[in-house]
């Protein structure tokens, strides 16, 4: 039976690209997303789609219950769902803060809490990949909630690697500027990167796939920055 990967926030951009990347590799793929219109636009018959909110515990339980019935296994979890919530710090309300943390961090916790038992019931070993951000380690004004949530993901990653090993490996990926679907940028914006271009969704998928397979079986608890070198570039104005 083909392996199963689940992807939160899989109806758009990086999540969608990862989903179709796995489909092209012959995997079974299931996504959960709270954007119903984006889900409806995806017509791929081999993709299991679930409308749900990752910060809602009942939605996560229902999602995994359906997967257990349909696939009877789980091999990889890709935590990707996120919201921005960028706002002037003095205008950031407690509800704004809580919403970002609930989706971007608590959602990852719930996806693992209810997915790991199904993964442990499967033959072989599992892999969890948490999509963080370079904003976990660098910021701009107005990033308080988002950067805190993404930094929290890094802590959650190495904690889970300790709790779930040796049968489940847990790693994080921190993307920098990754061009979304149909996004175009100027040549100057490309050339500011040390590699001469901004990132593509395929750049993220290439590492996700590697971390999902046995070739990476000695890697866990790590954070991989994919940013074209931008976090290593010193810039003064």
Give the CB-side neighbour count of residue 44, counting CA atoms within 13 A: 21
Residue numbers in the chain where pLDDT is lower than 50: none
Per the annotation, the verdict on 146 as an active-site residue is yes
Q: Could you report the per-residue pLDDT of 168-193, keeping only the tens digit for each?
A: 999 999 999 999 988 889 999 999 99
Catalytic residue (choose from 64, 71, 108, 146) = 146
pLDDT score for 112: 98
pLDDT score for 37: 97
| Burial class for 141, CB neighbours closer than 10 Å (0-12, 13-18, 19+) | exposed
The CATH number of 52-232, from 3.40.50.720, 3.30.70.1230, 3.30.70.260, 3.40.50.10190, is 3.40.50.720
Q: What is the rounded distance in angstroms from the CA atom of residue 20 to the CA atom of residue 71?
A: 18
Q: What is the rounded distance in angstroms from the CA atom of residue 94 to the CA atom of residue 209?
A: 37
CA–chain centroid gap for 172, Å, is: 8
pLDDT score for 76: 98
pLDDT score for 124: 83
Its pTM stands at: 0.96
């Amino acid at each position: 039976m083909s392996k199963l990967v689940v992807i939160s926030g899989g109806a758009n951009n990086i999540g969608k690209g990862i989903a179709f990347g796995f489909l092209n590799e012959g995997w079974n793929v299931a996504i959960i997303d709270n954007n119903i219109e984006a889900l409806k636009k995806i017509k791929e018959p081999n993709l299991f789609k679930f409308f749900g909110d990752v910060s809602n515990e009942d939605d996560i339980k229902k999602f995994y219950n359906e997967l257990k019935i349909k696939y009877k296994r789980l091999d990889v979890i890709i935590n990707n769902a996120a919201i921005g919530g960028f706002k002037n710090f003095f205008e950031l309300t407690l509800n704004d803060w809580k919403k970002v943390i609930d989706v971007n961090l608590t959602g990852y916790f719930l996806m693992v809490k209810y997915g790991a038992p199904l993964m442990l019931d499967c033959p072989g070993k599992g892999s969890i990949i948490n999509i963080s951000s370079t904003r976990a380690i660098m910021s701009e004004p107005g990033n308080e909630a988002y950067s805190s949530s993404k930094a929290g993901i890094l802590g959650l990653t190495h904690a889970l690697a300790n709790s779930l090993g040796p049968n489940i490996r847990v790693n994080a990926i921190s993307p920098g500027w990754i061009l979304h679907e149909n996004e175009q940028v100027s040549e100057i914006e490309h050339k500011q990167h040390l590699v001469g271009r901004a990132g593509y969704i395929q750049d993220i998928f290439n590492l996700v796939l590697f971390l999902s397979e046995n070739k990476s079986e000695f890697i866990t608890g790590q954070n991989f920055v994919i940013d074209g070198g931008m976090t290593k570039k010193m810039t003064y104005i």
